[in-house]
Amino acid sequence: MDEELWWRAVEAQDRRFDGWFVLGVLTTGIYCRPGCPARTPLRRNVRFHPSAAAAQAAGLRACKRCRPDASPGSPAWDGRSDLAARAARLIADGVVDRGGVPALATRLGYSRRQVERALQAELGAGPLALARAQRAQTARTLVETTDLSLADIAFAAGFGSVRQFNETVAAVFASTPGQLRARNRQGAPSSPGTLTLRLPFRPPLWPDSLFGHLVATAVPGVEQWRDGAYRRTLRLPHGHGTVSLRPQPDSVSCRLSLTDLRDLAPAVARCRRLLDLDADPVAVDDRLRKDPVLAPLVRRAPGRRVPRTVDESELAVRAVLGQQVSTAAARTHAARLVRACGEPVDDPGGGLTHLFPTPEAVADVDPEVLALPRNRRATVLRLAGALTTGDVELGVGADRARARAQLHALPGIGPWTVETIAMRALGDPDAFLGGDLGVAVAARSLGLGAGRALADHAQRWAPYRAYAVQHLWAVGDHAINTLPADDLPGAAP
């Protein structure tokens, strides 16, 4: 921790550092975001903590003004690939709540003690404390946005008892659940199973290409663009749901409909990953602006994000379906697969009809349904089988280097597909699609050359080459470069 840098951020109330750390104030027993609008405390009374869970473990309560437990996630855990980062992503996805620390250790391939030691060193708290902090935030969201009974909220948030729920909320927020509900309710509450949330991010954010890409590649029945929002179905640990995501100036509006409220935390985590909301756009843009070729593109569209996914296996299958075909053709192939073996769902908002099929369902599909050349059809089925058996592991806790090697070992999967999956499913901020047609055309138009010359030049963009790809794609005239209109062909029925 660079405490001098962090203190300067506190003095400036710099929101860009929200989520990087929290500051605890010894005289008040409260911890805050760096950008908290309250009066800046004296430096001698401040202690820094790498996470909200670490501050809570130190006996501090969340500030009621800046709500530090609800700040954007740390870019370190979003972008890094070490043990602590992989564990943090799995905890956010609810693995500890569902299976305890042993399940987390098994997913990571390490002993429980190794995982606990890594998290304590990096985040200042162990896996149980991190999961507890997440449960507290989930509980507060449900208290403030639904009419569920407090007992129902306790179990939906993952607490083992109402007593544990009451004690945790009081310790973390210095309020009882009833006081939180009375003090913080704004407007009409959501109905049970449906919640409207704000997903914060670090500014700036350039929404056009982010949402445009998702809509241009949307699979009918699974995704759509309607009334200024991107909508899609979600396969979740305890059930399924639908989400509507609408870009706003300082946040993304998120309306979730869930069949089981225990899925709230993983649903939010997956939506944040989909939109790359935990990125540090200032660091990314500062790095890319050092290249005179990219600098004008970055100034024109600061804060570009990488469109990712809510389901890593789904993205991998769709990447293979999209090999050597147009975006429209890839959507057609995916829609055919969805109709054949996707699970039907009810959409309260209308228009979404299916979950994207699981790898198991794809592996068992009639090969004729795919309507692909024989070799690519074999590749799809081979990939689905490997995802089913675990020979290819792409989950949020996956080791990126190992996953790349597993993908390369499958016949029919080349560098373009591997890097697409690495960028969008594995979340590697340095994945680079040098062989992509759109990237190659843009690079030549900018005088960057192609092949080895482009690869050599791209080294100066590391470790953010995936973000450079977003800027290069924007050089061409393509549907993914602009926020779509409601009447975008194929986006809404």
Catalogue the active-site residues: 32, 436
3-state secondary structure the chain: CCHHHHHHHHHCCCHHHECCEEEEECCCCEEECCCCCCCCCCHHHEEEECCHHHHHHCCCEECCCCCHHHCCCCHHHHHCCCHHHHHHHHHHCCHHHHHHHHHHHHHHCCCHHHHHHHHHHHHCCCHHHHHHHHHHHHHHHHHHHECCCHHHHHHHCCCCCHHHHHHHHHHHHCCCHHHHHHHHCCCCCECCCEEEEEEECCCCCCHHHHHHHHHHCCCCCCEEEECCEEEEEEEECCEEEEEEEEECCCEEEEEEEECCHHHHHHHHHHHHHHHCCCCCHHHHHHHHCCCCCCHHHHHHCCCCCCCCCCCHHHHHHHHHHCCCCCHHHHHHHHHHHHHHHCEECCCCCCCCCEECCCHHHHHCCCHHHHCCCHHHHHHHHHHHHHHHHCCCCCCCCCCHHHHHHHHHCCCCCCHHHHHHHHHHCCCCCCCCCCCCHHHHHHHHHCCCCCCHHHHHHHHHHCCCHHHHHHHHHCCCCCHHHCCCCCCCCCCCC
